[in-house]
């Protein structure tokens, strides 16, 4: 495990990366079709990058971060659809482990198992995970403020006081879960899943390959149901981008500058 090198911050949406780049005053370097934004921020060398949406885009981005930039850890920040009964829009989920819900090499291997790894679940790293949970909790007042965005709060039926930080299973696949049938199918197949997104398990697998610590935080933008795409862009701009940046700054403040 590396103790030197930058901390990588990866997001799938442009609005989230733009917010980070603006705050940290990043300098761009292009590799392939990704722009890597380098900065010194809160006492750490940091690289922010837009992975784009989906598992392949996320995996190639993180492989580049590790091989080309020698990052010492990878933090994913983004949004997800809530699957758990008590996981509401506006809540935060910090991934303890991740599964590719669309991976199926059965009958050769059990469903979800990734051949050669003999596992389906990829864990986040305990130290980074704990620090991210603390950063998410410490940032809740900032999230509550972001949720005050005039139309949004009323439209989403969120009470800022009720926002929770959850820890547990996050499932990833190359699908935006946007109808009740998909949602119920996922919940039946993976009953412990708290949230669905499109990158995390791929990033966790690449980090596992290279033994690079990994953790992921997601703000719940929707309930992965028939109304999932309503308000989505507005939610990213008004809530996920400022809140994500807030959590990352708090995380960097909490991480020791030398391990
Ligand atoms: N990211 C945010 N909401 C999502 C959903 N419903 N499905 C997949 N990824 C998401």
Catalytic residue selected from 91, 97, 197, 222: 222
Q: Is 16 a residue of the active site? A: yes
Task: Decide whether any atom of ligand 1 lies within 6 Å of the 89 Cβ.
Answer: no
How far apart CA 241 and CA 79 sit, in angstroms, is 9
Question: What pLDDT, on a 0 to 100 scale, did the predictor assign at position 259?
Answer: 56
* Enclosing H/E stretch for 69: helix 55-69
Q: Among 81, 87, 200, 225, name the best residue to mutate to test ligand 1's pocket (greatest count of ligand atoms within 8 A of Cβ).
A: 81
**What percent of the chain has a predicted confidence (pLDDT) above 90?**
80
Count other C-beta atoms under 10 Å from residue 244's C-beta.
Answer: 31
Quote the pTM value: 0.94
Question: What pLDDT, on a 0 to 100 scale, did the predictor assign at position 159?
Answer: 73
Q: How many CA atoms within 13 Å lie on the side-chain side of 207?
A: 29
The domains located in the chain, with CATH, are 7-254 (3.40.50.1580)
Q: Is 91 a residue of the active site? A: no
Q: Write out the two tokens for 69.
A: 């930039």
Q: Write out the two tokens for 250.
A: 């708090």
Question: What pLDDT, on a 0 to 100 scale, did the predictor assign at position 256?
Answer: 86
């Amino acid at each position: 495990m590396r103790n030197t090198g930058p901390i990588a911050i990866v997001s799938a949406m442009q609005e989230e990366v733009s917010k980070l780049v603006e705050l940290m005053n990043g300098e761009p370097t292009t590799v392939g079709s990704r722009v890597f934004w380098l900065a010194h921020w809160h006492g750490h060398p940091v690289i922010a990058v837009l992975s784009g949406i989906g598992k392949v885009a996320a995996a190639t981005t993180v492989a580049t971060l590790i091989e080309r930039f020698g990052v010492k850890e990878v933090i994913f920040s983004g949004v997800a659809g809530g699957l758990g009964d008590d996981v509401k829009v506006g809540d935060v989920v910090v991934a303890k482990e991740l599964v590719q819900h669309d991976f199926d090499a059965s009958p050769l291997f059990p469903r979800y198992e990734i051949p050669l790894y003999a596992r389906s679940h990829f864990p986040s790293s305990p130290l980074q995970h704990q620090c991210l949970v603390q950063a998410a909790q410490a940032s809740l007042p900032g999230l509550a403020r972001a949720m005050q965005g005039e139309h949004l709060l009323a439209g989403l039926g969120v009470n800022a006081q009720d926002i929770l930080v959850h820890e547990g299973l996050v499932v990833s696949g190359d699908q935006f879960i946007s109808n009740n049938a998909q949602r119920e199918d996922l919940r039946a197949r993976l009953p412990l899943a708290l949230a669905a997104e499109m990158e995390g398990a791929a990033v966790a697998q690449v980090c596992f390959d290279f033994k690079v610590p990994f953790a992921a935080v997601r703000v719940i933008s929707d309930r992965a149901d028939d109304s999932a795409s309503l308000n989505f862009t507005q939610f990213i701009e008004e809530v996920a981008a400022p809140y994500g940046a807030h959590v990352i700054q708090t995380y960097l403040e909490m991480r020791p500058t030398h391990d």
